[in-house]
Amino acid sequence: MRDAAPTTIFLKDYTPFGYLLDSVHLTFDLSAHATRVTSRIAFRPNPDATDRTFFLHGEDLNLIRASINGTEVSPDVTGKGLTADVPDAPFLWEAQVEIDPGNNTALEGLYMSNGMYCTQCEAEGFRKITYYPDRPDVMSTFTVRINGDLPVLLSNGNPSGKGEGWAEWTDPWPKPAYLFALVAGDLVAHPDRFTTRSGRDVALNLWVRPGDEGKCAFGMEALKKSMKWDEDVYGREYDLDVFNIVAVDDFNMGAMENKGLNIFNSSAVLASPETSTDANFERIEAIIAHEYFHNWTGNRITCRDWFQLCLKEGLTVFRDAQFTSDMRSAPVKRIHDAIDLRARQFPEDNGPLSHPVRPESFQEINNFYTATVYEKGAEVIGMLKRLVGDEAYAKALDLYFDRHDGQACTIEDWLKVFEDTTGRDLTQFKRWYSQSGTPRLTVSEDWADGTFTLTLKQRTDPTPGQAEKLPQVIPVAVGLLGPNGDEVRATEVLELTEAEQSFQFTALATRPTASILREFSAPVILEHDHSSAERAFLLAHDTDPFNRWQAGRSLAQDTLLRMILDEATPDADYLNGLQAVLRDDTLDPAYRALMLGLPTQSELAAALHERGHTPDPMAIWSAVETLRQATAQHVQDLLPRLHSEALVDGPYSPDAQQSGKRALGSAALALTSRLDGGAMAATVYANADNMTLQLTALSYLLRARKGEVQLAAFYDQWQHDRLVMDKWFGLQVTMAAPEATPETAKALTGHPDFNWKNPNRFRAVMGALAMNHAGFHQPDGAGYSLLAGWLIRLDPVNPQTTARMCSAFQTWKRYDTGRQDQMRTQLSRIAETPNLSRDTTEMVSRILGA
């Protein structure tokens, strides 16, 4: 229910909890609508705290009884928790509450999914399970007894007893409540084992619903690789006798790192070649790694408070990115990450939802699991590593694990280990954590007497709550190329610390071409007005694979902007440069496939807006279509060769090499379909023996406005498989013509399989609608009102997913007044809905700038 006045929580107000917890015992008597949770908690006064108020969080709980040292008490209970008078000495708190997991559609706390009990406690879900100091700096060991007549009963830690209808689990590692988990259901295990480097034999299990056993092998392999990698690269070993992963169909996010019992959205763990695409496999490998790596960065060392969320998330994303680079291709991973950052984090950081990597206030913490905290948080760590060097980074991490194991920490603790290791003062670097907005880096060049001068300027536009910005420390990796493409200066890292700074390169024979921000060394917007010829030169010669790709991307963006603004025709430098790259079969197929990508339509809208133009989504869409058509014609002769290079020998494998070939094949098929009206795509579809091929072929058929027969056949073939059906729903909206997009999405919401209470299915349709730029922004506002109507309907059922999806409107001020008015109307319609959740209220009011 909506609070009368939503309260804002501030970082500066942090105070420790008045009590320490020596142990927690929980007993669950499971029942769909009347689960009893009995807690026994040993408290003692915290000598480091001044405030001894005994307040326990609790929401949607029915308190049955409570006692202190065996004497019944009657605490003051509100909708937020309870307070009680307690002794000024150690005491035992006992309480029993009743909860209703069967009606918990918000998927936070204890809830049910297909008859299975499961939990989600991050960030503040444990308070929906029992009364507790539900904050990450309160840590304790847990013993959990589960009574229930289901075959599989799981919780954190190691099993410590079981019998008919019950099981007990003991977690020896003190943890905050957000890492608590319980699962009970009719599940089957995909078992395996792992021996740690110091000889601990760990039983691994991936628990799934009967019928999903065939989709476990890949996830399990990814887990074992992650365990080994964390030992090899970070020296971190696993610390329990069992590691359980459970797949659940109803889940708000990707997955959750609960100690010893990770819970995964089934879309983030279940995979088979027939049902999953290469991209699904890659994502699963990364998420398994991410959750596993949290065991050290998040669980053994956790966050003092939720403002420090980036302490665990930025670092863990950085670690999972390193893992993916090691398992697959480092340049390809870096390019993917840059694409993702620009698509998701830049719009956030340059709009009404902009916030620092470490926010300073919030109303609902669930709204801060953002691209800024996660992805920009990881970029900040990458910059730190680049600035101090690999060796110092490794030493600092060893010190971090040594010094802070078992603690709940802050960003100050994190930076201090780097200061202590390197002697560097990180005061200015710390602005990356407090200052929001994407810095813009402008470059100007000068050449005289064998000296090449680069002048770098930085500026960050004002963001909500931050009018004035100070210069940040920006590591700018630069290399110089000679006229025939040789590297005349290898990559070096320039440290930009001032608003403006010049760097000189002397003793050069001829004027070089500068390759700036190599490897995307900082999460900034680079404004370097290179000519088309210079970009084409870098596209042909840059020795840094990231910047070579970037040169092509910039050429593409330049030509698209000219096509949109000046009705120019596609640029020959771009088309010829691309052709040369495609022809170069020494280049990794995955890399060549990336070269064929274009900036997203939303990115183009942002670029137009930044240049003072009002983006017209339909004009952007047609420019992209025209450029695609021109590209297809221009590289037509090369397509047969690309198709044959993309052929894969032997059985399907989702590894980097094969999936790179398929990515190139798919990019070539996209172009071919523009020339043959989908004939080849129809053949590929008919012969496809894996989901990657099946889905790409189907998508190009749909784009060619063919494929109705295949779409129906696909439904018949996969109707039984919920994850594949999510693809079926999403693809139709993604591939619809702009004018038909809202209607297509609307029709799908009437489909009997549109189970809108399932977050994956809801996102399949509504997420695809929001992502179809020209379709969502149809001038009649049909996309806006459709999405808003569904968000209003979902809010009382699942506030978290509703609030996250409001971000579809975050760019509303970029567009023309007609569209702005329509979006404002829809946002106000949401805002004015009676009893709107705290989550959605906060999001909508931030987006409106209220």
Of 291, 348, 375, 519, the catalytic one is 291
- Show contacts with Zn ion in window 268-327 (CB under 5 A): 313, 316
Which residues lie across from 243 on neighbouring strands?
Answer: 204
**Residues sharing a CB contact under 8 Å with residue 552, sequence separation 6 or more, in sequence order:** 535, 539, 574, 577, 578, 581, 595
- Asked if 472 contacts 433 with a C-beta cutoff of 8 angstroms, the reply is no
Question: 95-116: b or e for each residue (b if 16 or more CB lie within 10 Å)?
Answer: bbbebbbbebebbbbbbbbeeb
User: Quick one: the chain helix, strand, coil %, rounded to 5?
Assistant: 45, 20, 35
Say whether the peptide bond before residue 49 is cis (omega within 30 degrees of 0). Answer: no
By a kind-dependent CB cut-off of 5 to 8 A, residue 120 interacts, out of ligand 0A1, Zn ion, none, with: ligand 0A1
Straight-line distance from the first to the last Cα atom of the chain, in angstroms, rounded to the nearest whole number: 21
By a kind-dependent CB cut-off of 5 to 8 A, residue 369 interacts, out of Zn ion, ligand 0A1, none, with: ligand 0A1
586 C-beta neighbours (distance < 10 Å), count: 4
Q: Considering CB under 6 A, how many residues would be counted as binding ligand 0A1?
A: 15
Which window, 249-257, 300-308, 445-453, 576-584, contacts ligand 0A1 (CB under 6 A)?
249-257
- Show contacts with ligand 0A1 in window 366-385 (CB under 6 A): 366, 369
Dist. CA 433–CA 422, nearest whole Å: 20
Residue 253 interacts with ligand 0A1 (CB under 6 A): yes or no: yes
Question: 304-329: b or e for each residue (b if 16 or more CB lie within 10 Å)?
Answer: bbbbbbbbbbbbbbbbbbbbbeebbb
Q: Which is nearer to Zn ion, 379 or 519 (CB)?
A: 379
Residue 120 interacts with ligand 0A1 (CB under 6 A): yes or no: yes
Calculated CA dihedral for residues 315, 317, 319, 320, nearest 10 degrees: 160
Residue 285 interacts with ligand 0A1 (CB under 6 A): yes or no: no
Q: Which two tokens stand for residue 422?
A: 């390197």
**Residues sharing a CB contact under 8 Å with residue 709, sequence separation 6 or more, in sequence order:** none
- Asked if 2 contacts 79 with a C-beta cutoff of 8 angstroms, the reply is no
Q: Which is nearer to ligand 0A1, 155 or 692 (CB)?
A: 155
DSSP 571: P
148 C-beta neighbours (distance < 10 Å), count: 19
Residue 798 interacts with ligand 0A1 (CB under 6 A): yes or no: no
By a kind-dependent CB cut-off of 5 to 8 A, residue 172 interacts, out of ligand 0A1, Zn ion, none, with: none
- Show contacts with ligand 0A1 in window 309-338 (CB under 6 A): 313
Which window, 55-63, 248-256, 431-439, 817-825, contacts ligand 0A1 (CB under 6 A)?
248-256
Closest contact distance (angstroms) between CB of 255 and ligand 0A1 is 5
Nearest to 485 by CA among 527, 547, 442: 547
Closest contact distance (angstroms) between CB of 294 and Zn ion is 6
> Which of 100, 257, 726, 839 forms a contact with ligand 0A1 (CB under 6 A)?
257
Nearest to 125 by CA among 113, 110, 114, 112: 110
Closest contact distance (angstroms) between CB of 633 and Zn ion is 45
Residue 91 interacts with ligand 0A1 (CB under 6 A): yes or no: no
Q: Which two tokens stand for residue 264?
A: 């995964």
The position carrying tokens 């190691």 is 158
Closest contact distance (angstroms) between CB of 256 and ligand 0A1 is 4
Q: Which is nearer to ligand 0A1, 278 or 320 (CB)?
A: 320
Q: Which is nearer to ligand 0A1, 358 or 674 (CB)?
A: 358
> Which of 94, 100, 122, 348 forms a contact with ligand 0A1 (CB under 6 A)?
122
Closest contact distance (angstroms) between CB of 181 and Zn ion is 15
Q: Which is nearer to ligand 0A1, 244 or 822 (CB)?
A: 244
Q: Which is nearer to ligand 0A1, 220 or 288 (CB)?
A: 288
Q: Which is nearer to ligand 0A1, 290 or 592 (CB)?
A: 290
- Asked if 577 contacts 540 with a C-beta cutoff of 8 angstroms, the reply is yes
Closest contact distance (angstroms) between CB of 404 and ligand 0A1 is 19
Closest contact distance (angstroms) between CB of 313 and Zn ion is 5
> Which of 39, 226, 244, 252 forms a contact with ligand 0A1 (CB under 6 A)?
252
Dist. CA 336–CA 326, nearest whole Å: 14
Closest contact distance (angstroms) between CB of 316 and Zn ion is 5
Nearest to 819 by CA among 563, 607, 605: 605
Closest contact distance (angstroms) between CB of 268 and ligand 0A1 is 9
Which window, 74-82, 250-258, 270-278, 340-348, contacts ligand 0A1 (CB under 6 A)?
250-258
Q: Which is nearer to ligand 0A1, 294 or 592 (CB)?
A: 294
Residue 291 interacts with ligand 0A1 (CB under 6 A): yes or no: yes
Q: Which two tokens stand for residue 687?
A: 């012969």
By a kind-dependent CB cut-off of 5 to 8 A, residue 166 interacts, out of ligand 0A1, Zn ion, none, with: none
Q: Has 379 been annotated as catalytic?
A: no
Q: Which is nearer to Zn ion, 313 or 571 (CB)?
A: 313
The position carrying tokens 């009649």 is 780
Dist. CA 113–CA 846, nearest whole Å: 32
By a kind-dependent CB cut-off of 5 to 8 A, residue 372 interacts, out of Zn ion, ligand 0A1, none, with: none
Residues engaged in binding ligand 0A1 (CB under 6 A): 120, 122-123, 252-257, 290-291, 313, 366, 369, 800
Residues engaged in binding Zn ion (CB under 5 A): 313, 316
Supply the residues annotated as catalytic: 291
